[in-house]
Every structure is written in structure tokens, then in C-alpha cells.
Amino acid sequence: MKLHYQVDGDNFLVAGEASASLKRTLKQLGIDSSIIRKISISMYEAEMNMVIHAYGGVIDVEISTDKVHILLKDKGPGIPDIDLAMKEGYSTASHEIRELGFGAGMGLPNMKRYSDHLNIYSEVGVGTTVEIIVFLM
Amino acid sequence: MYSHSVTLEQTKCIGCTDCIKRCPTEAIRVRGSKAKIIEDRCIDCGNCIRICRNGAKRAVTDDIDMIQKYKYRIALPAPSFYAQFPKAKNIEQILSTLYKIGFTDILEVGCAAEVITKHTNEYVQTAKNFPIISSSCPAIVRLIQRRFPSLIHHVLPIISPMELAARYIKIQYLEKGILENEIGVFFISPCPAKATEIHRPKGLDRSYVDGVLSMQDIYKMMIYKMNTNQNIDVKRQSSYKGLSWAMHNGGLDENTIKSHIAVDGMESVIGILEKVEDGTLSNVQYIEALACTGGCLGGALALENPFISRYTLKKWIEEDLAKGICSNEKLIQEIASLPYAFNKDITPRPVFSLDRDMQKALTMMEDIETLYKQLPKIDCGSCGAPTCRCFAEDVVKQDAKIEECVFMLRKRIQDLSEVMHNLTQTVIPTHNDNNRKE
Ligand SMILES: Nc1ncnc2c1ncn2[C@@H]1O[C@H](COP(=O)(O)OP(=O)(O)O)[C@@H](O)[C@H]1O
Ligand code: SF4
Ligand code: SF4
Ligand SMILES: [Mg+2]
């Protein structure tokens, strides 16, 4: 089945709704809780990045019996150096955002750790597409 | 089989739907103008008891007459119970009144709480799965089993102060050679969740508690006997440390476990557990989570306002500190020598899962999404389900009919009347309406 979410970029204090809604759906599908956890953590971090770094975007999720495929697309500033962005602790978040408890630079490393496949396509000035796959078996 | 302490009194329920939205596990539906609790889902949190203005939701606890079955009748009062008597001179007066209403012995749960706090400290120092989530509130453990099964491994595998207190006192009596069926151990409970807990314990094969009595029932019996002059001499067993257990931080020793969150009230707890699930709180060591606002002082069976209760307890803690009388080290040591760990795993109860077969669940989920899009999404509750979303699920699970939604019913009538109108336009061969006009 397919799910589509619109993510607003202006208010990151209430962000995370798409992840919460997907989590609920996955629980109803009876997916193993440790796998749901992997998906939730990856999706939440990716959603937050979209809100904090890229003025929101759209998320498309496809769930089948063997995997969950998540595609997050934004028209934000893009990531100039993906390898660098993947480093633990690397963050370009502003001081204000850090004050609010975000910007620890652990989002991308955790997405890598908890997903089975993580692909990032990004072009500076155009936007970023993040693809996450988690297998269910 | 005994499974729940929260029940509905049919005759009092008017089907108003007030309760359905406040249930954290969407366990209530209104059917035929009566609320119905879906047993698998209910966690005995007591929210619906508090919200019902008709007193139709009740906590079933054991009957006080039950204590008469036993020769030795031991009361286990918790600090939250003391707080119900803000006008009492001191805790001794409350304890002595417990003897007057028929108990033969008392063990203050507060002293077991002191011991559990120590065990918790030690456990947190050596644990790996952070954050650890407290297990002393049974409603929260039940919530985790149902709504947050991925967090089961975070639950502190240590029994509650109530259970440890019961274990200690019962063993004391057994060691004196007294027969087990002569010993009755009774917890005086602030909530229905604790009542369910002794019949269906979590993490344990069986409970040492023989009965759970409602704080309200005991209060009513005691209030007339409080001020009689023949006060029975009692010795305090719990120090101020045990009393502070009820002051919302529960088993938390704030000096030892620096990185902690103490959260109370169902909605706030759910918010925190969502965050733990999303991995954003893994830097926190310990979470003390209590279902009721104000912790056990705000239990559904408490009589006093929880904020006044906190004030009362604080006063007594300060008095205890000033008096410095309670030297309970020996008792604490004895209690600390008992086993305190869970001996059974807590199992997930994924009550929200649509079907075991994922293919089937996926098909159902698609149907739910399609139906949900047609619903007005105003969560009016007239259908008897807490939300439009939940109603869509009920329809797809065939627990409800689509016409039970007033909006869908209206649309259906509209469609039907359109069909009927169209039928009236059918030309009848032997009859010409236009001719008639002439
Ligand atoms: N969708 C995105 N658009 C633009 N930049 C991004 C996006 N996602 C991540 N980044 C960049 O990668 C960095 C590291 O991301 P992450 O590991 O999630 O840490 P954090 O979000 O805490 O800064 C971010 O600080 C940001 O510079
Ligand atoms: S006690 Fe709590 S979980 Fe049970 S039906 Fe009432 S509100 Fe729902
Ligand atoms: S917080 Fe205390 S009173 Fe409330 S349900 Fe939990 S154990 Fe019972
Ligand atoms: Mg991030």
C-alpha cells in the first residue's frame, strides 16, 4: 500500500507527524516491534531534516509484505558534501536550533545505522531526495 | 477469569460518549447507547472513571468483608493513602485507626519503596538499554505492552514496592509457622490498575497480595474512628525516604540517577514514550512514568485533590526529618535481602494489529484509508467510536456498519432519494402526464 505525506517547513516544534502516523499504521499491520523501531527512527530523523534544513517537502511510503520503502523529497538548499554530512556530530544547524535540542549531527548516521538501505541524492540549490529501505524479514 | 477492575454500570450509562475520547488505548465504544469496554485493550488506567459524570464507570476492588476470612489481617498502606487524611495529627494516628477497623498488623509500603529505590539505582548503573522505564505503575506497563511493544526491553524488571512489602510480611508470618491460609495481606489501593495487578501480575507468576481494597472504602470506615481517644500505640517503619516515593518522582533517587525524566499524566507519558520510540531520548538514563496526573496521589480512587495531598505529605516528610525518629535500618536490611527481580518476561500484546497475516492486514489497511478519506474527520463521536479513523477501522473489521456514521447515513439517504426521484421520472407507457393538463 502507498501513503503520501505533506510536510510543512515552517514549524519544527510540531514536526514529526508523518513519522507518528506511519508508526501507527505499521503497528496495525502487525509488523515486528523491533523493525518498526528501525523504521520509526530513520523516518523521524529524515522528516526532521526536511523540516530543519530544507523548508519541508513530500514523503511517499510504500509498504509491501517484504519491505517498507520511504522516499523523502525536498526543494531545499541541498547537501554539498554528503560524506561529510554523514559524519557523526556534523551539523550545520544554527545556534537557535541547537538550543531547542536539535542539531546533534546524529540524524544521518542513525538513519544509516537503522535502515537496510540509505540513498541520498542531492544537488545544491535544487534539493535533496532521501531513500530509505527497511526489510521486514 | 478475572481480567479487569474497571467496569461499566449499565443502568447509569446514558451513552454520552464523553469517555471514549479519553481512553488512551481506544478501548471504549458506545453501542446501543451504552459504553462497552473492549477488554483486551483496557489498561485499567481509570481515565474513564474520572471523566464519567454519571458515575457509570466503576473500579471493582475486593470487598472489605474479605479480610474477616483470615486470622492474621495485614494492611499495606502506601504514602498516597496517608495523604487522604490532611487533618490527621500525624501518620501514627492514621495507622492506629487501621487497627481499629479490624486489621491485626501493618507494614508500611514506604519501607519497601526505600529498598526498591536502592535496587533501581543499582540496576540503572549496570543497564545497557537506555532509557530504563519504571515499572511501578501497572497501567503504564500495560500501555507499553499494547501501544509501545518495542519498548518492553526498557521496562525496569523490578517488582513494585507493594509486591515487595507483601512478600516480606508474608514470609515473616510463614517463618513463625503460621499457616498460609490464615494470613491475609491487603493493599490499600489508589487505583484500579493495582487491583488488576494482583490477579494478573506482570513479570511475576503470582502475587503475595491477597486482596486489594479501595482507598475510598477504607477511608469511609476510618473517618469516624479517627478521633476516638483510645489510640493504639504504633511504631513507624518507613522513614521520610519512603514517603517521598509518592511525591511524583517515585522510585527515582535524583542524587544518584542524574539523567532522568519524571513524567505523570497519561497524555504526557504517551508523548514521552513516542519520543523514546523515535530514539530521541536515548541519552536519558531513567524515566519514571506514572499514569495519573500527580502520580498515585491523583489515582482514580483518591479522595483528596492531588496538589493538596502533595502539600500534606511534604509537611509530614518535614516533620519526620525534624523528629529524626525512625531508625528502620534493620527492617530495611531484611527487606533488601529478599528477591526483587521479575521472574517472568513481559510479553507484547499488540491489540492494534489488524490481522496476523500481513497480506490480509495490508488489504484491510487500504480499505481503511479509502473509507477514512470519505469520512468528515471531525471525530464527533456519534458513531460510538472515538475518532473517524477508529470508526473506519471498526467498519473494515466488521465491528461497525458504515451507516452508523450520521454523515454517511445522510449521504446514503440522499443517494437513495435521488434514485427514487429518478424512478418517479420514468415514463409510464399507458399514461401521458402532458395530456392530462388539457
Ligand atoms: N534534507 C536536507 N537538506 C539539506 N541539508 C541537509 C538535509 N539533511 C541533512 N542535511 C545536512 O546534513 C547535516 C547532518 O544531518 P544530521 O546528521 O541529520 O544532523 P543534524 O540534523 O543534527 O544537523 C545537517 O546539518 C545538514 O547540513
Ligand atoms: S480504564 Fe483506561 S484503558 Fe480502560 S477503558 Fe477506561 S480509559 Fe480505557
Ligand atoms: S499512577 Fe499510581 S494510582 Fe495512577 S494508575 Fe499508576 S499506580 Fe495507579
Ligand atoms: Mg538531523
Provide mean pLDDT across the span B192-203: 90
Q: Judge whether residue A126 has pLDDT over 80.
A: yes
Measured from the alpha carbon of residue A83, the closest ligand is 1
**Among the bound ligands, the one closest to the CA of A86:** 1
Q: Calculate mean pLDDT across residues B51-69.
A: 92
- Chain A neighbors of B370, CB-CB under 8 A: none
The pLDDT-based confidence of B251 (bands split at 50, 70, 90) is low
Residue in chain B closest to A27 (alpha carbons) equals B353
Distance from CA of A71 to the nearest CA of B (A): 18
User: B259 and chain A: CB distance < 8 Å anywhere?
Assistant: no
Annotated domain spans of chain B = 6-59, 64-336, 358-425
Residues of B in contact with A136 (CB under 8 A): 358
Q: Does B294 touch chain A (CB under 8 A)?
A: no
pLDDT at B102: 94
Average pLDDT, chain B: 91
According to the model, what pLDDT value does residue B438 have?
Answer: 47
**Which residues surround ligand 2 with Cβ inside 6 Å?**
B 6, 23-25, 27-28, 37, 42-48
Helix (H, G, I), strand (E, B) or coil at A134: strand
Residue B280 pLDDT > 70, yes or no?
yes
Alpha carbon distance B178, B228 (integer Å) = 32
Q: Is B87 on the interface with A (CB under 8 A)?
A: no
- Nearest residue (CA) to ligand 2, atom 8: B23
Model confidence band, residue B250 (pLDDT cutoffs 50, 70, 90): low
Judge whether residue A13 has pLDDT over 80.
Answer: no
Within an 8 Å CB–CB cutoff, is residue B373 touching chain A? Answer: no
| Closest CA of chain B from A40, distance in Å | 6
Q: Which ligand is nearest to the CA of B7?
A: 2
Residue A53 Cα, ligand 1 centroid: separation in angstroms?
A: 6
Task: Report ipTM (2 d.p.).
Answer: 0.85
Fold of B358-425: 3-methyladenine DNA Glycosylase II; Chain A, domain 3 (1.10.15)
Cβ separation of A30 and B393 shorter than 8 Å?
Answer: no
CB contact at 8 A, A30 and B356: yes
Give me the pLDDT at residue B248, please. Answer: 56
Helix (H, G, I), strand (E, B) or coil at B24: coil
Range of the domain at A26: 2-135
Q: Which residues contact B125 (CB under 8 A, 6 or more apart)?
A: none
Does the bond joining B306 to the residue before it have cis omega, within 30 degrees of 0?
no
pLDDT of residue B433 exceeding 90, the answer is no
**Mean pLDDT on A44-53:** 94
- How high is the pLDDT of residue B111? 92
pLDDT per residue over B111-131, tens digit each?
999 999 999 999 998 888 899
Distance from C-alpha of B81 to C-alpha of B79, rounded to nearest angstrom: 5
Interface check B356 vs A, CB under 8 A: yes
Whether the predicted pLDDT of B211 surpasses 90 = yes
B194 Cβ inside 6 Å of ligand 3: yes
pLDDT of residue B428: 80
What Å distances lie between residue A2 and A63, A105, A133, B84, CA to CA?
6, 30, 14, 54
Residues of A in contact with B359 (CB under 8 A): 65
How far is the C-alpha of B66 from the C-alpha of B81, rounded, in Å?
Answer: 20
CB within 8 Å: A33 and B369: no
- Which of B2, B51, B57 has its CA nearest to residue B34? B57
| Domain count across chain A | 1
Alpha helices in B344-385 (DSSP H): 358-374
Q: From the CB of B301, is ligand 3 less than 6 Å away?
A: no
Residue from the list A28, A33, A64 with its beta carbon closest to the beta carbon of B149: A33
* Per-residue pLDDT reduced to its tens digit, B341-378: 999 999 999 889 999 999 999 999 999 999 999 999 99
Residue B41 CA neighbour count, 13 Å, CB half: 14
Predicted pLDDT of residue A51: 92
Q: For residue A80, report the distance from its CA to the centre of ligand 1, in Å.
A: 11
Task: Tell whether B354 is within 8 A of chain A (Cβ).
Answer: yes
CB of B5 closer than 8 Å to CB of B193 = yes
- Rounded mean pLDDT, B19-43: 93
In a 3-state reduction of DSSP, which class is residue B19? coil
Give the H/E segment covering residue B290: strand B286-290
Q: Is residue A10's pLDDT more than 90?
A: no
Q: Which ligand is nearest to the CA of B278?
A: 4
CB contact under 8 A, A36 and B150: yes
Which residues of B fall within a CB distance of 8 Å from A24?
352
DSSP string, B143-197: HHHHH-GGGGGGB--B--HHHHHHHHHHHHHHHTT--GGGEEEEEEESSHHHHHH
Confidence of residue B2 (pLDDT cuts 50, 70, 90): low
The closest of B64, B90, B61 to B75, measured between CA atoms, is: B64
CA distance A93 to A102: 8
**Pick from B221, B226, B268: which is nearest to B248 by CA?**
B268
Q: How confident is the model at residue B3 (pLDDT cuts 50, 70, 90)?
A: confident
**Kindly report the CA angle at A54 between A49 and A55, in degrees rounded to 5?**
115
The C-alpha cell that represents B182 in the structure block: 490464615
- Interface contacts (A, B; CB < 8 Å): 64
Cα(B193) to centroid of ligand 3, in Å? 7
Task: Calculate the CA B367 to chain-centre distance.
Answer: 33
Percent of chain B topping pLDDT 90: 73
Q: Count CA atoms closer than 13 A to B416's CA, side-chain side.
A: 7
pLDDT at B258 over 90: no
Position A36 scores a pLDDT of 93
Please say if the pLDDT value at position B45 is more than 60.
yes
> Which domain CATH number covers A67?
3.30.565.10
Contact in structure between A48 and A107 (CB atoms under 8 Å): yes
Ligand 1 centroid vs A56 CA: distance in angstroms? Answer: 13
Give mean pLDDT, residues A72-79.
Answer: 96
- B:222-241 residues touching chain A, CB 8 A cutoff: none
Percent of chain B with pLDDT strictly greater than 70: 96
Question: Phi and psi of B183, rounded to 5°?
Answer: -105, 120
- Mean confidence (pLDDT) of chain A: 93
Cell 538550543 locates to A99
Q: State the average pLDDT over residues B49-61.
A: 91
Q: Are A17 and A56 in contact (CB under 8 A)?
A: no
Candidate ranges A115-119, B280-284, B322-326; pick with highest mean pLDDT: A115-119
Q: What fold characterizes domain B64-336?
A: Rossmann fold (3.40.50)
Domain range B6-59, its CATH number among 3.90.1150.10, 3.40.50.300, 3.10.20.30, 3.30.70.20? 3.30.70.20
Is residue B1 very low, low, confident or very high in pLDDT (cuts 50, 70, 90)? very low
